[in-house]
Structure 1
Amino acid sequence: MSALSIAVISLAPEAPEVRRLLFTLAELGFDATIFPAVDGRKAMPVLEDGESVDHRKALLRRRATLYTGEIACFLSHSRAIKQAYARGDERLLILEDDVEILAGFADVVHAVTALPAEAELVRLMGLKRRRRKVIATLASKWSLVRPLRGWCGTQGYIINRAGMAKFIQHADVISMAIDSFYDCFWETGIRCYGIEPHVLVERAHPSSIAKQWGKVKPNAWTNLRWQVFKLYRGVLMRYYRLAHYSDFYPNAFPDDSVKFARSKSNKKTRYSNSPNTLSR
Protein backbone atom coordinates (compact mmCIF):
# COMPACT_ATOMS: atom_id res chain seq x y z
CA MET A 1 0.00 0.00 0.00
CA SER A 2 1.25 3.47 -0.88
CA ALA A 3 -0.06 6.99 -0.30
CA LEU A 4 1.10 7.88 -3.84
CA SER A 5 2.45 5.59 -6.52
CA ILE A 6 3.79 6.90 -9.82
CA ALA A 7 3.52 5.05 -13.13
CA VAL A 8 5.22 6.29 -16.30
CA ILE A 9 3.47 4.61 -19.21
CA SER A 10 5.95 3.87 -21.98
CA LEU A 11 6.59 1.62 -24.96
CA ALA A 12 10.25 2.63 -24.99
CA PRO A 13 11.51 2.64 -21.39
CA GLU A 14 15.16 2.85 -22.45
CA ALA A 15 14.68 5.92 -24.66
CA PRO A 16 16.79 8.90 -23.53
CA GLU A 17 13.73 11.09 -23.03
CA VAL A 18 12.09 8.51 -20.77
CA ARG A 19 15.25 7.98 -18.73
CA ARG A 20 15.55 11.77 -18.36
CA LEU A 21 11.95 11.95 -17.12
CA LEU A 22 12.63 9.28 -14.50
CA PHE A 23 15.82 11.06 -13.46
CA THR A 24 13.97 14.37 -13.06
CA LEU A 25 11.31 12.70 -10.94
CA ALA A 26 14.00 11.11 -8.77
CA GLU A 27 15.70 14.48 -8.31
CA LEU A 28 12.38 15.86 -7.06
CA GLY A 29 12.11 13.03 -4.57
CA PHE A 30 9.58 10.84 -6.41
CA ASP A 31 10.03 7.12 -6.82
CA ALA A 32 8.49 6.37 -10.23
CA THR A 33 8.30 3.08 -12.07
CA ILE A 34 7.79 2.26 -15.73
CA PHE A 35 4.44 0.72 -16.56
CA PRO A 36 4.85 -1.17 -19.87
CA ALA A 37 2.40 0.33 -22.35
CA VAL A 38 0.10 -1.90 -24.35
CA ASP A 39 1.26 -1.90 -27.99
CA GLY A 40 -1.42 -1.20 -30.57
CA ARG A 41 0.72 0.35 -33.30
CA LYS A 42 0.49 -2.54 -35.75
CA ALA A 43 -2.25 -4.86 -34.53
CA MET A 44 -5.18 -5.17 -32.20
CA PRO A 45 -3.87 -5.68 -28.66
CA VAL A 46 -4.74 -8.88 -26.84
CA LEU A 47 -7.60 -8.33 -24.39
CA GLU A 48 -7.54 -9.78 -20.90
CA ASP A 49 -10.46 -11.33 -19.01
CA GLY A 50 -13.25 -8.83 -18.55
CA GLU A 51 -12.00 -6.41 -21.23
CA SER A 52 -13.96 -5.78 -24.42
CA VAL A 53 -14.28 -3.21 -27.21
CA ASP A 54 -17.64 -1.86 -28.40
CA HIS A 55 -17.11 -0.46 -31.91
CA ARG A 56 -20.87 -0.01 -32.41
CA LYS A 57 -21.03 2.38 -29.49
CA ALA A 58 -17.87 4.13 -30.75
CA LEU A 59 -19.71 4.77 -34.04
CA LEU A 60 -22.64 6.11 -32.05
CA ARG A 61 -20.37 8.45 -30.11
CA ARG A 62 -18.25 9.89 -32.93
CA ARG A 63 -19.14 8.25 -36.27
CA ALA A 64 -15.87 6.31 -36.28
CA THR A 65 -14.57 3.03 -34.95
CA LEU A 66 -11.67 2.93 -32.50
CA TYR A 67 -8.14 2.74 -33.81
CA THR A 68 -5.96 0.00 -32.32
CA GLY A 69 -3.63 2.63 -30.86
CA GLU A 70 -6.51 4.25 -28.99
CA ILE A 71 -7.56 0.88 -27.59
CA ALA A 72 -4.00 0.15 -26.51
CA CYS A 73 -3.66 3.55 -24.85
CA PHE A 74 -6.92 3.02 -22.96
CA LEU A 75 -5.77 -0.43 -21.83
CA SER A 76 -2.44 0.98 -20.65
CA HIS A 77 -4.15 3.46 -18.35
CA SER A 78 -6.82 0.98 -17.29
CA ARG A 79 -4.37 -1.75 -16.31
CA ALA A 80 -2.13 0.68 -14.44
CA ILE A 81 -5.14 1.88 -12.43
CA LYS A 82 -6.39 -1.64 -11.72
CA GLN A 83 -2.91 -2.66 -10.54
CA ALA A 84 -2.65 0.32 -8.20
CA TYR A 85 -6.14 -0.30 -6.83
CA ALA A 86 -5.37 -3.98 -6.20
CA ARG A 87 -2.22 -2.95 -4.28
CA GLY A 88 -4.32 -0.71 -2.08
CA ASP A 89 -2.67 2.55 -3.20
CA GLU A 90 -4.46 5.69 -2.06
CA ARG A 91 -3.46 7.75 -5.11
CA LEU A 92 -1.84 7.06 -8.46
CA LEU A 93 0.05 9.61 -10.54
CA ILE A 94 0.05 8.55 -14.21
CA LEU A 95 2.48 10.17 -16.62
CA GLU A 96 2.71 9.41 -20.30
CA ASP A 97 6.28 9.23 -21.52
CA ASP A 98 6.08 12.31 -23.77
CA VAL A 99 5.80 14.92 -21.01
CA GLU A 100 8.25 17.40 -19.58
CA ILE A 101 8.04 18.60 -15.98
CA LEU A 102 7.59 22.32 -15.35
CA ALA A 103 8.39 24.47 -12.35
CA GLY A 104 6.19 23.80 -9.34
CA PHE A 105 5.48 20.17 -10.20
CA ALA A 106 6.61 18.77 -6.86
CA ASP A 107 4.79 21.41 -4.79
CA VAL A 108 1.56 20.83 -6.72
CA VAL A 109 1.76 17.04 -6.48
CA HIS A 110 2.25 17.25 -2.71
CA ALA A 111 -0.66 19.70 -2.45
CA VAL A 112 -2.95 17.47 -4.53
CA THR A 113 -2.19 14.44 -2.36
CA ALA A 114 -3.39 16.48 0.64
CA LEU A 115 -6.76 17.31 -0.93
CA PRO A 116 -9.95 15.73 0.42
CA ALA A 117 -11.36 12.62 -1.22
CA GLU A 118 -13.83 14.54 -3.39
CA ALA A 119 -10.96 15.58 -5.71
CA GLU A 120 -11.04 12.19 -7.40
CA LEU A 121 -9.03 13.07 -10.51
CA VAL A 122 -6.75 16.07 -10.99
CA ARG A 123 -5.18 16.75 -14.38
CA LEU A 124 -1.77 18.41 -14.21
CA MET A 125 -2.17 19.76 -17.75
CA GLY A 126 -4.90 20.02 -20.35
CA LEU A 127 -5.19 20.58 -24.08
CA LYS A 128 -8.39 22.60 -24.42
CA ARG A 129 -9.33 25.93 -22.84
CA ARG A 130 -12.65 25.61 -21.04
CA ARG A 131 -14.79 27.66 -18.72
CA ARG A 132 -14.08 26.52 -15.17
CA LYS A 133 -14.74 27.34 -11.55
CA VAL A 134 -11.76 28.22 -9.39
CA ILE A 135 -12.02 26.01 -6.30
CA ALA A 136 -8.91 26.63 -4.23
CA THR A 137 -5.33 27.94 -4.23
CA LEU A 138 -2.60 25.31 -3.96
CA ALA A 139 1.06 25.80 -3.03
CA SER A 140 0.64 29.59 -2.94
CA LYS A 141 0.16 30.30 -6.67
CA TRP A 142 -1.54 27.39 -8.44
CA SER A 143 -5.28 27.06 -8.75
CA LEU A 144 -7.40 23.95 -8.44
CA VAL A 145 -10.22 24.34 -10.94
CA ARG A 146 -13.35 22.40 -11.95
CA PRO A 147 -13.82 22.57 -15.76
CA LEU A 148 -17.33 22.88 -17.12
CA ARG A 149 -16.35 20.50 -19.95
CA GLY A 150 -13.46 18.10 -20.50
CA TRP A 151 -9.92 19.46 -20.74
CA CYS A 152 -8.85 16.73 -23.18
CA GLY A 153 -5.57 14.83 -22.76
CA THR A 154 -4.21 12.27 -20.31
CA GLN A 155 -0.54 13.24 -20.34
CA GLY A 156 -0.44 13.51 -16.56
CA TYR A 157 -3.02 13.22 -13.78
CA ILE A 158 -3.52 12.04 -10.21
CA ILE A 159 -6.44 9.73 -9.48
CA ASN A 160 -7.40 8.80 -5.94
CA ARG A 161 -8.90 5.57 -4.65
CA ALA A 162 -12.51 6.70 -5.04
CA GLY A 163 -11.77 7.74 -8.63
CA MET A 164 -10.07 4.41 -9.32
CA ALA A 165 -13.14 2.53 -8.10
CA LYS A 166 -15.43 4.52 -10.41
CA PHE A 167 -12.97 4.05 -13.29
CA ILE A 168 -12.90 0.28 -12.81
CA GLN A 169 -16.69 0.17 -12.65
CA HIS A 170 -17.06 1.75 -16.09
CA ALA A 171 -13.87 0.97 -18.01
CA ASP A 172 -14.07 -2.70 -19.02
CA VAL A 173 -16.13 -2.00 -22.15
CA ILE A 174 -14.07 0.40 -24.28
CA SER A 175 -16.01 2.65 -26.65
CA MET A 176 -13.90 5.82 -26.68
CA ALA A 177 -10.37 7.09 -26.23
CA ILE A 178 -9.07 7.40 -22.66
CA ASP A 179 -9.19 11.22 -22.60
CA SER A 180 -12.76 11.19 -23.91
CA PHE A 181 -13.62 8.72 -21.13
CA TYR A 182 -12.47 11.23 -18.51
CA ASP A 183 -14.12 14.11 -20.36
CA CYS A 184 -17.47 12.29 -20.07
CA PHE A 185 -17.44 12.71 -16.29
CA TRP A 186 -21.24 12.95 -16.18
CA GLU A 187 -21.40 9.30 -17.32
CA THR A 188 -18.85 7.87 -14.90
CA GLY A 189 -19.42 10.21 -11.96
CA ILE A 190 -15.64 10.78 -11.60
CA ARG A 191 -15.11 14.24 -10.10
CA CYS A 192 -12.53 15.79 -12.44
CA TYR A 193 -10.38 18.81 -11.61
CA GLY A 194 -7.38 20.55 -13.14
CA ILE A 195 -4.35 22.63 -12.20
CA GLU A 196 -3.62 26.15 -13.48
CA PRO A 197 -1.00 27.06 -14.56
CA HIS A 198 -0.04 23.62 -15.80
CA VAL A 199 2.95 21.83 -14.30
CA LEU A 200 3.49 19.53 -17.28
CA VAL A 201 3.90 20.13 -21.00
CA GLU A 202 3.71 17.68 -23.87
CA ARG A 203 6.88 17.40 -25.94
CA ALA A 204 6.49 18.65 -29.50
CA HIS A 205 6.78 15.29 -31.24
CA PRO A 206 4.58 12.22 -31.60
CA SER A 207 3.98 10.07 -28.55
CA SER A 208 5.07 6.44 -28.64
CA ILE A 209 1.43 5.58 -27.86
CA ALA A 210 -0.40 6.21 -31.15
CA LYS A 211 -3.88 7.70 -30.89
CA GLN A 212 -5.12 8.03 -34.47
CA TRP A 213 -8.78 7.74 -35.27
CA GLY A 214 -10.37 4.64 -36.68
CA LYS A 215 -12.26 4.36 -39.92
CA VAL A 216 -14.97 6.97 -40.40
CA LYS A 217 -18.33 5.76 -41.74
CA PRO A 218 -20.31 8.90 -42.58
CA ASN A 219 -23.45 7.28 -44.01
CA ALA A 220 -26.89 8.77 -43.41
CA TRP A 221 -27.93 6.20 -40.76
CA THR A 222 -24.71 6.65 -38.78
CA ASN A 223 -25.05 10.43 -38.95
CA LEU A 224 -28.65 10.31 -37.73
CA ARG A 225 -27.87 8.00 -34.81
CA TRP A 226 -24.85 10.16 -33.90
CA GLN A 227 -26.97 13.33 -33.88
CA VAL A 228 -29.62 11.73 -31.65
CA PHE A 229 -27.01 10.30 -29.27
CA LYS A 230 -25.19 13.64 -29.18
CA LEU A 231 -28.43 15.35 -28.16
CA TYR A 232 -29.05 12.69 -25.50
CA ARG A 233 -25.54 13.06 -24.07
CA GLY A 234 -25.90 16.83 -24.07
CA VAL A 235 -29.05 16.55 -21.97
CA LEU A 236 -27.27 14.21 -19.53
CA MET A 237 -24.30 16.56 -19.25
CA ARG A 238 -26.47 19.59 -18.53
CA TYR A 239 -28.56 17.67 -16.02
CA TYR A 240 -25.39 16.55 -14.20
CA ARG A 241 -24.08 20.10 -14.03
CA LEU A 242 -27.39 21.41 -12.71
CA ALA A 243 -27.56 18.60 -10.15
CA HIS A 244 -24.05 19.64 -8.99
CA TYR A 245 -24.55 23.34 -9.56
CA SER A 246 -22.25 24.60 -6.82
CA ASP A 247 -19.37 22.49 -8.21
CA PHE A 248 -19.37 24.32 -11.56
CA TYR A 249 -20.84 27.80 -11.02
CA PRO A 250 -19.87 30.61 -11.15
CA ASN A 251 -17.22 29.99 -13.79
CA ALA A 252 -15.05 31.84 -16.29
CA PHE A 253 -12.40 31.23 -18.92
CA PRO A 254 -8.80 31.07 -17.64
CA ASP A 255 -6.37 33.91 -18.11
CA ASP A 256 -4.48 33.95 -21.41
CA SER A 257 -1.26 33.22 -19.50
CA VAL A 258 -2.50 29.62 -19.05
CA LYS A 259 -1.56 27.87 -22.28
CA PHE A 260 -3.73 25.14 -23.78
CA ALA A 261 -2.14 23.44 -26.77
CA ARG A 262 -5.35 22.97 -28.77
CA SER A 263 -7.15 26.22 -27.95
CA LYS A 264 -6.74 29.82 -28.96
CA SER A 265 -6.64 32.44 -26.24
CA ASN A 266 -9.93 33.91 -25.11
CA LYS A 267 -10.14 37.68 -25.44
CA LYS A 268 -13.28 38.01 -23.30
CA THR A 269 -11.94 36.46 -20.11
CA ARG A 270 -13.97 37.20 -17.01
CA TYR A 271 -13.32 36.07 -13.49
CA SER A 272 -15.42 34.93 -10.59
CA ASN A 273 -14.97 37.20 -7.58
CA SER A 274 -15.45 34.52 -4.95
CA PRO A 275 -13.69 31.22 -5.55
CA ASN A 276 -14.77 28.49 -3.16
CA THR A 277 -12.49 26.13 -1.30
CA LEU A 278 -12.76 22.39 -0.86
CA SER A 279 -13.90 21.41 2.60
CA ARG A 280 -11.30 19.52 4.60
Structure 2
Amino acid sequence: MSVLSTVVISLEPQSPTVISLVNALSALGFKAEVFSAIDGRSAMPDLRDAESVDQKMSVLRRRSELTTSEVGCFLSHARVIQQAFDNGVDKLLILEDDVEILAGFAEVVDAIVTLPSEVEMVRLMGLKRRRRKTIATLAGSWQLVRPLRGWCGAQAYVMNRPAMAKFLRQYQTISMPVDGFYDCFWETDIRAYGVEPHVAAERKHVSSIAKPWGTMAPSRMTEIRWHMFKLYRGVLMRYYRLANYSDFYPNVLPDPSIKFPRSNPD
Protein backbone atom coordinates (compact mmCIF):
# COMPACT_ATOMS: atom_id res chain seq x y z
CA MET A 1 0.00 0.00 0.00
CA SER A 2 1.30 3.42 -0.93
CA VAL A 3 1.48 5.90 1.97
CA LEU A 4 1.33 9.15 -0.05
CA SER A 5 0.39 9.55 -3.68
CA THR A 6 0.82 12.95 -5.36
CA VAL A 7 -1.33 13.96 -8.35
CA VAL A 8 -1.39 17.18 -10.38
CA ILE A 9 -4.67 17.78 -12.26
CA SER A 10 -4.36 19.67 -15.53
CA LEU A 11 -6.20 20.23 -18.80
CA GLU A 12 -2.77 20.75 -20.40
CA PRO A 13 -0.51 18.02 -18.96
CA GLN A 14 2.46 18.90 -21.18
CA SER A 15 2.39 22.65 -20.57
CA PRO A 16 5.50 24.43 -19.22
CA THR A 17 3.54 25.38 -16.10
CA VAL A 18 2.73 21.76 -15.28
CA ILE A 19 6.28 20.60 -16.01
CA SER A 20 7.61 23.34 -13.74
CA LEU A 21 5.25 22.32 -10.92
CA VAL A 22 6.15 18.63 -11.27
CA ASN A 23 9.85 19.51 -11.20
CA ALA A 24 9.36 21.68 -8.10
CA LEU A 25 7.60 18.81 -6.37
CA SER A 26 10.35 16.39 -7.42
CA ALA A 27 13.00 18.69 -5.94
CA LEU A 28 11.16 18.44 -2.61
CA GLY A 29 10.96 14.63 -2.78
CA PHE A 30 7.41 14.24 -4.16
CA LYS A 31 7.00 12.09 -7.26
CA ALA A 32 3.91 13.50 -8.93
CA GLU A 33 1.64 11.87 -11.47
CA VAL A 34 -0.10 14.22 -13.91
CA PHE A 35 -3.79 13.48 -14.43
CA SER A 36 -5.45 14.74 -17.61
CA ALA A 37 -8.45 16.69 -16.35
CA ILE A 38 -11.98 16.04 -17.54
CA ASP A 39 -12.65 18.77 -20.11
CA GLY A 40 -15.97 20.54 -19.62
CA ARG A 41 -15.10 23.81 -21.33
CA SER A 42 -17.32 23.32 -24.38
CA ALA A 43 -19.85 20.62 -23.42
CA MET A 44 -21.15 18.57 -20.52
CA PRO A 45 -18.61 15.81 -19.76
CA ASP A 46 -19.59 12.17 -20.06
CA LEU A 47 -20.93 10.75 -16.80
CA ARG A 48 -20.57 7.23 -15.47
CA ASP A 49 -23.64 5.08 -14.79
CA ALA A 50 -24.11 6.13 -11.14
CA GLU A 51 -23.34 9.81 -11.74
CA SER A 52 -25.79 12.62 -12.41
CA VAL A 53 -25.94 16.42 -12.34
CA ASP A 54 -28.77 17.93 -10.29
CA GLN A 55 -29.26 21.44 -11.68
CA LYS A 56 -32.43 22.03 -9.66
CA MET A 57 -30.49 21.49 -6.44
CA SER A 58 -27.68 23.70 -7.76
CA VAL A 59 -30.18 26.52 -8.28
CA LEU A 60 -31.59 25.90 -4.80
CA ARG A 61 -28.09 26.03 -3.30
CA ARG A 62 -26.75 29.11 -5.07
CA ARG A 63 -29.36 30.52 -7.48
CA SER A 64 -27.50 29.31 -10.57
CA GLU A 65 -26.89 26.13 -12.50
CA LEU A 66 -23.55 24.36 -12.60
CA THR A 67 -21.47 25.15 -15.66
CA THR A 68 -20.06 22.31 -17.72
CA SER A 69 -16.54 23.33 -16.68
CA GLU A 70 -17.48 23.13 -13.00
CA VAL A 71 -18.80 19.60 -13.59
CA GLY A 72 -15.58 18.72 -15.41
CA CYS A 73 -13.50 20.01 -12.51
CA PHE A 74 -15.58 18.03 -9.99
CA LEU A 75 -15.25 14.85 -12.05
CA SER A 76 -11.49 15.35 -12.39
CA HIS A 77 -11.09 15.30 -8.60
CA ALA A 78 -13.51 12.37 -8.34
CA ARG A 79 -11.58 10.31 -10.90
CA VAL A 80 -8.28 10.96 -9.11
CA ILE A 81 -9.77 10.00 -5.75
CA GLN A 82 -11.39 6.85 -7.15
CA GLN A 83 -8.11 5.80 -8.78
CA ALA A 84 -6.14 6.35 -5.59
CA PHE A 85 -8.70 4.52 -3.46
CA ASP A 86 -8.79 1.56 -5.83
CA ASN A 87 -4.98 1.41 -5.77
CA GLY A 88 -4.89 1.22 -1.97
CA VAL A 89 -3.39 4.68 -1.43
CA ASP A 90 -3.44 5.72 2.23
CA LYS A 91 -2.84 9.47 1.82
CA LEU A 92 -3.50 11.46 -1.35
CA LEU A 93 -2.03 14.87 -2.19
CA ILE A 94 -3.99 16.65 -4.94
CA LEU A 95 -2.77 19.81 -6.64
CA GLU A 96 -4.40 21.75 -9.45
CA ASP A 97 -2.00 23.12 -12.04
CA ASP A 98 -2.57 26.77 -11.07
CA VAL A 99 -0.78 26.24 -7.75
CA GLU A 100 2.49 27.74 -6.61
CA ILE A 101 4.41 25.95 -3.85
CA LEU A 102 5.41 28.13 -0.90
CA ALA A 103 7.96 27.84 1.90
CA GLY A 104 7.37 24.97 4.31
CA PHE A 105 5.47 22.81 1.82
CA ALA A 106 7.54 19.63 2.24
CA GLU A 107 7.79 19.88 6.03
CA VAL A 108 4.06 20.47 6.40
CA VAL A 109 2.98 17.66 4.05
CA ASP A 110 5.39 15.27 5.78
CA ALA A 111 3.81 16.23 9.11
CA ILE A 112 0.27 15.81 7.74
CA VAL A 113 1.06 12.24 6.66
CA THR A 114 1.77 11.33 10.30
CA LEU A 115 -1.46 12.82 11.70
CA PRO A 116 -4.08 10.50 13.24
CA SER A 117 -6.83 9.14 11.02
CA GLU A 118 -9.51 11.50 12.41
CA VAL A 119 -7.75 14.34 10.55
CA GLU A 120 -9.27 13.30 7.25
CA MET A 121 -8.58 16.24 4.97
CA VAL A 122 -6.15 19.15 5.19
CA ARG A 123 -6.25 22.10 2.82
CA LEU A 124 -2.83 23.57 2.12
CA MET A 125 -4.39 26.92 1.17
CA GLY A 126 -7.75 28.65 1.38
CA LEU A 127 -9.47 31.54 -0.34
CA LYS A 128 -11.44 33.03 2.55
CA ARG A 129 -10.59 34.16 6.05
CA ARG A 130 -12.64 32.21 8.57
CA ARG A 131 -12.80 31.93 12.31
CA ARG A 132 -10.92 28.76 13.25
CA LYS A 133 -9.59 26.77 16.16
CA THR A 134 -5.85 26.08 16.33
CA ILE A 135 -5.40 22.33 16.81
CA ALA A 136 -1.66 21.62 16.77
CA THR A 137 1.74 22.67 15.49
CA LEU A 138 2.71 20.84 12.32
CA ALA A 139 6.25 22.09 11.74
CA GLY A 140 8.05 25.29 12.68
CA SER A 141 5.49 28.11 12.66
CA TRP A 142 2.87 26.16 10.68
CA GLN A 143 -0.34 25.28 12.48
CA LEU A 144 -3.12 22.79 11.90
CA VAL A 145 -6.47 24.60 12.23
CA ARG A 146 -10.16 23.66 12.07
CA PRO A 147 -12.19 26.34 10.26
CA LEU A 148 -15.65 27.16 11.55
CA ARG A 149 -16.84 27.41 7.94
CA GLY A 150 -15.49 26.30 4.58
CA TRP A 151 -12.24 27.84 3.39
CA CYS A 152 -13.25 27.74 -0.29
CA GLY A 153 -10.91 26.36 -2.94
CA ALA A 154 -9.72 22.89 -3.90
CA GLN A 155 -6.37 23.81 -5.42
CA ALA A 156 -4.18 21.93 -2.93
CA TYR A 157 -5.12 19.43 -0.24
CA VAL A 158 -4.28 16.10 1.38
CA MET A 159 -6.93 13.50 2.19
CA ASN A 160 -6.75 10.05 3.80
CA ARG A 161 -8.67 6.85 3.03
CA PRO A 162 -11.64 7.60 5.34
CA ALA A 163 -12.11 10.94 3.55
CA MET A 164 -11.78 9.26 0.14
CA ALA A 165 -14.41 6.70 1.14
CA LYS A 166 -16.83 9.41 2.31
CA PHE A 167 -16.27 11.35 -0.90
CA LEU A 168 -16.89 8.32 -3.12
CA ARG A 169 -20.06 7.38 -1.25
CA GLN A 170 -21.62 10.80 -1.67
CA TYR A 171 -20.36 12.62 -4.76
CA GLN A 172 -22.39 10.88 -7.50
CA THR A 173 -25.25 13.43 -7.55
CA ILE A 174 -23.35 16.61 -8.37
CA SER A 175 -25.09 19.83 -7.34
CA MET A 176 -22.18 22.13 -6.45
CA PRO A 177 -18.53 22.74 -7.37
CA VAL A 178 -15.97 20.44 -5.77
CA ASP A 179 -14.72 23.05 -3.30
CA GLY A 180 -18.32 23.67 -2.22
CA PHE A 181 -18.66 19.94 -1.61
CA TYR A 182 -15.67 20.07 0.73
CA ASP A 183 -17.00 23.21 2.41
CA CYS A 184 -20.24 21.41 3.34
CA PHE A 185 -18.56 19.31 6.02
CA TRP A 186 -21.79 19.08 8.01
CA GLU A 187 -23.36 17.25 5.05
CA THR A 188 -20.43 15.03 4.02
CA ASP A 189 -18.98 14.54 7.53
CA ILE A 190 -15.48 14.86 6.02
CA ARG A 191 -13.35 16.19 8.86
CA ALA A 192 -11.70 19.13 7.07
CA TYR A 193 -8.75 21.08 8.45
CA GLY A 194 -6.34 23.67 7.10
CA VAL A 195 -2.76 24.89 7.33
CA GLU A 196 -1.68 28.37 8.49
CA PRO A 197 0.33 30.04 7.12
CA HIS A 198 -0.53 28.53 3.73
CA VAL A 199 2.09 26.44 1.96
CA ALA A 200 0.52 26.84 -1.49
CA ALA A 201 -0.97 29.76 -3.38
CA GLU A 202 -3.02 30.28 -6.50
CA ARG A 203 -1.01 31.76 -9.37
CA LYS A 204 -2.46 34.73 -11.21
CA HIS A 205 -4.06 33.27 -14.32
CA VAL A 206 -7.22 33.16 -16.42
CA SER A 207 -9.37 30.35 -15.03
CA SER A 208 -10.70 27.71 -17.42
CA ILE A 209 -13.72 27.19 -15.14
CA ALA A 210 -16.59 29.41 -16.17
CA LYS A 211 -18.44 31.05 -13.29
CA PRO A 212 -22.24 31.28 -13.48
CA TRP A 213 -22.76 34.22 -11.13
CA GLY A 214 -24.29 37.20 -12.86
CA THR A 215 -25.34 35.17 -15.92
CA MET A 216 -28.71 34.13 -14.56
CA ALA A 217 -31.48 36.36 -13.20
CA PRO A 218 -33.21 34.40 -10.43
CA SER A 219 -36.98 34.61 -10.23
CA ARG A 220 -38.67 35.77 -7.05
CA MET A 221 -39.64 32.17 -6.26
CA THR A 222 -36.01 31.07 -6.75
CA GLU A 223 -34.90 33.77 -4.32
CA ILE A 224 -37.47 32.67 -1.72
CA ARG A 225 -36.50 29.01 -2.04
CA TRP A 226 -32.80 29.91 -1.84
CA HIS A 227 -33.29 31.90 1.37
CA MET A 228 -35.32 29.08 2.94
CA PHE A 229 -32.75 26.45 1.96
CA LYS A 230 -29.92 28.68 3.21
CA LEU A 231 -31.67 28.94 6.57
CA TYR A 232 -32.15 25.17 6.67
CA ARG A 233 -28.49 24.52 5.86
CA GLY A 234 -27.44 27.05 8.46
CA VAL A 235 -29.36 25.15 11.12
CA LEU A 236 -27.71 21.86 10.07
CA MET A 237 -24.26 23.47 10.11
CA ARG A 238 -24.73 24.92 13.59
CA TYR A 239 -26.10 21.64 14.93
CA TYR A 240 -23.07 19.78 13.54
CA ARG A 241 -20.67 22.27 15.12
CA LEU A 242 -22.42 22.01 18.48
CA ALA A 243 -22.42 18.21 18.27
CA ASN A 244 -18.66 18.41 17.66
CA TYR A 245 -18.11 21.38 19.94
CA SER A 246 -14.52 20.65 20.97
CA ASP A 247 -13.43 20.47 17.32
CA PHE A 248 -14.46 24.06 16.59
CA TYR A 249 -14.38 26.03 19.84
CA PRO A 250 -12.84 28.28 21.03
CA ASN A 251 -12.00 29.99 17.74
CA VAL A 252 -10.70 33.33 16.47
CA LEU A 253 -10.01 34.97 13.14
CA PRO A 254 -6.51 34.44 11.71
CA ASP A 255 -3.81 36.96 12.53
CA PRO A 256 -3.76 39.74 9.88
CA SER A 257 -0.22 38.69 8.95
CA ILE A 258 -1.62 35.45 7.49
CA LYS A 259 -2.43 36.31 3.90
CA PHE A 260 -5.53 35.03 2.13
CA PRO A 261 -6.37 35.72 -1.52
CA ARG A 262 -9.75 36.90 -0.30
CA SER A 263 -10.18 38.72 2.98
CA ASN A 264 -13.94 38.69 3.59
CA PRO A 265 -14.44 37.11 7.06
CA ASP A 266 -18.16 36.38 6.54
Provide TM-score, normalisation by structure 2: 0.97
* 1:198 lines up with 2:198 in the alignment: yes
Displacement of 1:220: 1.3
3-state DSSP of counterpart to 1:240: helix
Matches within 5 A, 1:10-89: 10-89=10-89
Deviations 1:106-153 (A, max 9, x none): 000000000000110000000000000000001121000000000000
Q: CA separation in 1, counterparts of 2:178 and 2:40?
A: 14
Structure 1: 5+ residue runs without aligned partners? 267-280
Displacement of 1:265: 8.2
Q: CA separation in 2, counterparts of 1:102 and 1:228?
A: 41
3-state DSSP of counterpart to 1:5: strand
* 1:211 to 1:162, Cα distance in 2 relative to 1, 3 A: farther
Q: Which amino acid aligns with 1:192?
A: A
Q: Which amino acid aligns with 1:95?
A: L
Matches within 5 A, 1:241-260: 241-260=241-260
Deviations 1:69-128 (A, max 9, x none): 100000000111011111110011000000110111000000000000011000000000
3-state DSSP of counterpart to 2:80: helix
3-state DSSP of counterpart to 1:205: coil
Q: CA separation in 2, counterparts of 1:93 and 1:111?
A: 13
Q: CA separation in 2, counterparts of 1:182 and 1:211?
A: 19
* Residue 165 of structure 1: aligned partner: 165
Identity of aligned residues (%): 62
Deviations 1:170-203 (A, max 9, x none): 1010000011100000000000000000000110
Deviations 1:206-241 (A, max 9, x none): 23x414127524101111111111110000000000
* Residue 120 of structure 2: aligned partner: 120
3-state DSSP of counterpart to 2:201: strand
Runs of 4+ with deviation above 3 angstroms: none
* Residue 144 of structure 2: aligned partner: 144
Displacement of 1:58: 0.4
* Residue 129 of structure 2: aligned partner: 129
* Residue 183 of structure 1: aligned partner: 183
**Contact (CA 8 Å) 2:131, 2:265: kept in 1 or not?**
no
* Residue 91 of structure 1: aligned partner: 91
Q: Which amino acid aligns with 2:68?
A: T
Q: CA separation in 1, counterparts of 2:211 and 2:66?
A: 9
Q: CA separation in 2, counterparts of 1:216 and 1:57?
A: 15
Matches within 5 A, 1:206-225: 206-207=206-207, 209-213=208-212, 215-225=215-225
Q: CA separation in 2, counterparts of 1:218 and 1:99?
A: 34
Q: CA separation in 2, counterparts of 1:17 and 1:258?
A: 26
* 1:154 lines up with 2:167 in the alignment: no
Displacement of 1:264: 5.1
3-state DSSP of counterpart to 1:81: helix
Q: Which amino acid aligns with 1:210?
A: I
3-state DSSP of counterpart to 1:7: strand
Q: CA separation in 2, counterparts of 1:186 and 1:264?
A: 22
**Contact (CA 8 Å) 1:125, 1:194: kept in 2 or not?**
yes
**Contact (CA 8 Å) 1:142, 1:195: kept in 2 or not?**
yes
**Contact (CA 8 Å) 2:128, 2:265: kept in 1 or not?**
no
Q: CA separation in 1, counterparts of 2:217 and 2:83?
A: 36
3-state DSSP of counterpart to 1:159: strand
